[in-house]
Amino acid sequence: MLLVNEVTKKYDKILANDKVSITLNNGEVGVLVGPNGSGKSTLIKCIAGLLRYTGDIEIDGLPNKTIEAKRLLGYIPEVPNLYDTMTIDEHFEFIRRAYGYSDKTLTEELIERFELTEHRKKLGKALSKGMQQKVSIVCALLHDPQVVIFDEPMVGLDPHAINELKHVIRELKEKNKAILISTHLIDTVADIWDVVNILKSGHVIVTKYREQLNGQEENLSDLFFEITENKEQ
Amino acid sequence: MLSAYLYRVRKSLIRAPGLMVLYAFFLGYILFMSLVVTSLNEGAVRNQDAVVGLIKLVWFGLGNLVLGNTCTKGSYAFSLTDVNFHFAGPFTTKFNLIIAVINSLPMTLIYMYFSSMLMPFASNFGFTSKDAILMVCGGFVVVLVCSIIGFLVKVTLDKLEKYKKVPMAIIFGAMALALAGCALMLLSENDWSIKSAFGQDIDILISRIGNNPIIDFFPIVGWPGLIVKGIYLSDVIFIAIGAVLSIGTIVAVAYIFTKANYDYYETAIEGATRIAEITEAKKANVFGNSDINTGKIVVGKEKIGGGRGASAIFYRHLLENKRRSHFSFININALIYKAIVVAYLFFMSKSHIIDDGSLANLAYALGFGLTMNIFVFSGSKTLTELSKPYIFLIPDTAQKKLFASVFADFPEMAFDALVMMIICMVFAPGARTVPFGIAIFLIVASFNFLCQTISILCVRILSRAGAFIINLLRTILDMAVVGFGALVGFVVMSIVDGGIEIVFFSASGVLILASFLALLASRNIIDKTEMR
Per-window interface: A 24-63 vs B, CB < 8 A: 45, 48-52
3-state secondary structure of A132: helix
Q: pLDDT digit string (tens) for B312-337?
A: 999 999 998 888 888 888 888 889 88
**What distance in Å separates the CA atoms of residue B138 and residue B145, rounded to the nearest whole number?**
11
B173 or B270, greater pLDDT: B173
Rounded to the nearest integer, the mean pLDDT of chain A is 90
Closest CA in chain A for residue B307: A97
Select from B306, B388, B530 the Cβ nearest to the Cβ of A52.
B530
The predicted structure's pLDDT at residue B261: 66
Q: What is the ipTM of this complex?
A: 0.84
Using the beta-carbon criterion (under 8 Å), do A70 and B531 form an inter-chain contact? no
Q: Any idea which of A60-74, A141-155, A197-211, B34-48 has the lowest mean pLDDT?
A: B34-48
Do B400 and B310 form a contact (C-beta atoms < 8 A)? yes
What pLDDT, on a 0 to 100 scale, did the predictor assign at position A233? 43
- Residue of chain B nearest A66, judged by CA positions: B395
pLDDT digit string (tens) for B251-291? 888 888 777 666 777 778 877 877 777 776 666 555 554 44
Please tell me the distance in Å from A67's CA to the nearest CA on chain B. 5
Please tell me the predicted confidence (pLDDT) of residue B306.
Answer: 84
Give the model's pLDDT for residue A54: 93
SS3 A154: coil
Mutate to test the interface with B, among A92, A94, A133, A149 (most CBs of B within 10 A): A94
Partner B contacted by A216 (CB < 8 A):
no
Distance between CA atoms of residues B321 and B63, nearest Å = 32
Distance CA A142, CA A92 (A): 8
Q: Would you give the end-to-end CA distance of chain A in angstroms?
A: 35
Contacts of A45 in chain B (CB under 8 A): 531
Distance CA A58, CA A86 (A): 33
A80 touches chain B (CB under 8 A): no
At residue A21, the pLDDT reads 95
- Rounded to two decimals, what is the model's pTM? 0.76
B308: phi then psi, degrees, rounded to nearest 5:
-140, 130
Quickly list DSSP for B278-337.
HHHHHHHHSS--TT---S-----S-------TTHHHHHHHHHHHHHHHSSTT--HHHHHH
Half-sphere exposure of A5 (CA within 13 A, CB side): 10
Chain B residues in contact with A94 by the CB 8 A cut-off are: 304, 312, 316, 390
Q: Angle CA(B454)–CA(B459)–CA(B464) in degrees, nearest 5? A: 155
* Residues A101 and A74: beta-carbon distance below 8 Å: no
Instruction: Specify the pLDDT at position B122.
Output: 86
What does the pLDDT read at residue A22? 94
Written as one string, the DSSP assignment of B2-56 is: HHHHHHHHHHHHHH-HHHHHHHHHHHHHHHHHHHHHHHHTTTPPP-HHHHHHHHH
Confidence of residue B368 (pLDDT cuts 50, 70, 90): confident
Give the separation between CA B72 and CA B407, rounded to whole angstroms. 36
Q: Give pLDDT, residue A64.
A: 92
Between B444 and B98, the higher pLDDT residue = B444
Instruction: Name chain A contacts of B528, Cβ cutoff 8 Å.
Output: 52
Whether B403 shows a pLDDT value over 90: the answer reads: yes
Q: What residues of chain A lie within 8 A of the CB of B326, using their CB?
A: none
Report the gap between the CA of A90 and the closest CA in chain B (Å).
Answer: 7
pLDDT at B11: 79
Q: Choose among B306, B319, B394: nearest Cβ to A70.
A: B394
Q: What is the mean pLDDT of chain B?
A: 85
The span from the CA of B413 to the CA of B407, in Å, is 10
Q: Look at B89 and B388; give whichever has higher pLDDT.
A: B388
Q: Is B270 on the interface with A (CB under 8 A)?
A: no
Tell me whether residues A121 and B395 touch, CB distance under 8 A: no
A217 at interface of B, judged by CB pairs closer than 8 A: no
Amino acid occupying residue B453: T
Provide DSSP, A175-197: TT-EEEEE-S-HHHHTTT-SEEE
Min Cα distance B91 → chain A (Å) is: 29
Contacts with A47 from chain B: Cβ below 8 Å: none
Of B293, B309, B310, the CB nearest to A85: B293
Chain B touched by A99 (CB under 8 Å): yes
Mean pLDDT within B235-261: 86
Asked if the model's pLDDT at residue B9 lies above 60, the reply is: yes
Name the residue among A49, A97, A121 with its Cβ closest to that of B304: A97
Statement: residue B440 has pLDDT above 60: yes
Q: Which residue has the higher pLDDT, B263 or B385?
A: B385
pLDDT of the residue at A207: 92
Higher pLDDT, B285 or B127: B127
Specify the DSSP element, H or E, that contains A55. strand A54-59
Q: What pLDDT was estimated at residue B284?
A: 57
Q: Which of B277, B283, B315, B316 to mutate to test the interface with A (most CBs of A within 10 A)?
A: B316
pLDDT tens digits along A133-179: 999 999 999 999 999 999 999 888 888 889 999 999 999 999 999 99
What contacts 24+ positions apart, CB below 8 Å, involve B514-517? B514/B450, B514/B453, B514/B454, B514/B481, B514/B484, B514/B485, B515/B446, B515/B449, B515/B450, B515/B452, B515/B453, B515/B454, B516/B453
C-beta of residue A195 within 8 angstroms of C-beta of residue A31: yes
CB A57 within 8 A of CB A24: no
Taking each continuous run of H as one helix and of E as one strand, the counts in chain A are: 8, 10
